């Protein structure tokens, strides 16, 4: 299906006009293969899967223009969301090359790249950009190369330097993090920036994950899904802006769960960059409201069971404890073990009608 963008620039703040089309809901990457959830390494080869968010190495969808407008807003307001330590400049150029090659190969109707030695011409028709530049010369671009290409890429980007048997977050452009800060984490090792995560350390998950990541080879990218919940379709839930969004958790009621509570899924992609040996760490964020998610067969029941049985430590870490009772109560109407099939179908129809009315 040809790539089509939302007809308006949607907002991820203030009036929150972001919505998913029925097609976007169907391809939403639900991160729960079972009725329960516990941390695991859950890394798999990044092989194509047609008709899903995994079809291409880098996913571009209907929200592209909206997310790029949001990114520009955040970067212009807070330049510290883009940081590149001096030894990561080569990796920044490699990231620009990776994105331009991927986009022009997989979405040629919107992106083109022409090369003449180190003289490149990049065209992004979606954002009305045409740029001639010299690879390796930062003054031929309007921004540093990592920020330049991140302003045209959905999802956050972190670049991990590999040295001394560890990975260090030494560069990145991060405008839609799930309650963390690039300015705080830059320069940290793999275990340092994962230190707040409960249970996983005791289970040895990060030891196994680090060993796996250190051995990623050029040409063999890998991916995994991570998730949390967000109140309202807000992309920028950074530590820096907690004073703006933290209070939203206290506004959830049984009556507004469906529209307010959003599943926030990160498609995390790791690619070995050939010249610098750094790892490209892409964190592609997808948002969908509970009303949207329960329109898919079986998803409401699965969400109910996952949220109901989630270990308390994980619920606390993900920041959902305060409104978890309201969420579980609302989701219970979609669980056939609690409701009859007829009642579950009626609840799904009601949620679909609410979503349709808000999307129109």
Q: Tens digits of per-residue pLDDT, 83-98? A: 999 999 999 999 999 9
Name the active-site residue from 224, 305, 308, 339.
224
Q: Which residues contact 107 (CB under 8 A, 6 or more apart)?
A: 3, 56, 60
Average pLDDT over the chain reads 93
Q: Is residue 204 predicted with pLDDT exceeding 60? A: yes
Quick one: pLDDT at residue 353?
Answer: 73
Return the domain boundaries, the chain: 22-359
Encode burial over 214-236: b for 16+ CB neighbours within 10 A, e otherwise.
eebeeeebbbbbebbbbbbbbbb
Q: Is residue 236 predicted with pLDDT exceeding 70? A: yes
Please write the tens of the pLDDT for every residue from 118-127: 999 999 999 9
Q: Is residue 275 predicted with pLDDT exceeding 60? A: yes
Q: What is the mean pLDDT of residues 232-240?
A: 97
Of 47-56, 71-80, 206-215, 281-290, the poorest mean pLDDT is in: 206-215
In angstroms, the Cα distances linking 360 to 11, 17, 347 are: 16, 11, 20
pLDDT band, very low/low/confident/very high, at 177 (cuts 50, 70, 90): very high
Express as a percent the part of the chain with pLDDT over 70.
93
Quick one: pLDDT at residue 241?
Answer: 96
Q: What is the number of residues in the chain?
A: 360
Q: Which residues contact 327 (CB under 8 A, 6 or more apart)?
A: 229, 252, 257, 261, 290, 307, 320
Quick one: pLDDT at residue 343?
Answer: 63
Of 120-134, 194-208, 234-248, the poorest mean pLDDT is in: 194-208
Question: Which pTM was predicted?
Answer: 0.93
The yes-or-no answer on residue 224 being catalytic is: yes
C-alpha–C-alpha distance, residues 19 and 288, integer Å: 8
């Amino acid at each position: 299906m040809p790539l089509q963008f939302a007809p308006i620039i949607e907002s991820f703040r203030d009036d929150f006009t972001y919505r998913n089309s029925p097609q976007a809901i169907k391809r939403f990457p639900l991160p729960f293969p079972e009725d329960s959830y516990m941390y695991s390494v859950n890394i798999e080869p990044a092989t194509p899967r047609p008709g899903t968010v995994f079809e291409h190495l880098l996913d571009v969808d209907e929200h592209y223009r909206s997310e790029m407008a949001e990114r520009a807003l955040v970067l212009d307001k807070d330049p510290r969301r883009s940081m590149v330590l001096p030894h990561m400049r080569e990796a920044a150029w490699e990231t620009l090359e990776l994105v331009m090659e991927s986009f022009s190969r997989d979405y040629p109707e919107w992106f083109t790249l022409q090369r003449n030695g180190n003289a490149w011409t990049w065209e992004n028709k979606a954002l009305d950009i045409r740029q001639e530049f010299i690879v390796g010369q930062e003054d031929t671009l309007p921004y540093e190369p990592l920020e330049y290409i991140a302003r045209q890429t959905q999802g956050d980007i972190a670049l991990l330097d590999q040295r001394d048997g560890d990975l260090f977050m030494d560069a990145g452009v991060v405008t839609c993090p799930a309650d963390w800060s690039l300015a705080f984490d830059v320069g940290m090792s793999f275990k340092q920036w994962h230190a707040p995560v409960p249970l996983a350390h005791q289970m040895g998950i990060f030891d196994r994950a680090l060993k796996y990541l250190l051995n990623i080879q050029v040409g063999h990218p890998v991916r995994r899904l991570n998730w949390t919940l967000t109140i309202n379709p807000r992309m920028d839930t950074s530590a820096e802006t907690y004073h703006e969004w933290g209070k939203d958790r206290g506004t959830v009621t049984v009556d507004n769960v469906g529209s307010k509570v959003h599943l926030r899924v990160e498609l995390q992609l790791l690619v070995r960059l050939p010249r610098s040996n750094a790892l490209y760490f892409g964190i592609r964020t997808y948002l969908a409201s509970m009303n949207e998610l329960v329109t898919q067969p079986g998803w409401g029941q699965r969400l109910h069971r996952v949220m109901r049985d989630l270990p308390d430590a994980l619920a606390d870490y993900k920041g959902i404890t305060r409104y978890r009772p309201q969420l579980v109560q609302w989701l219970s109407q979609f669980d056939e073990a609690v409701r009859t099939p007829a009642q579950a179908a009626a609840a799904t129809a009601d949620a679909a009608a609410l979503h349709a009315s808000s999307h129109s």
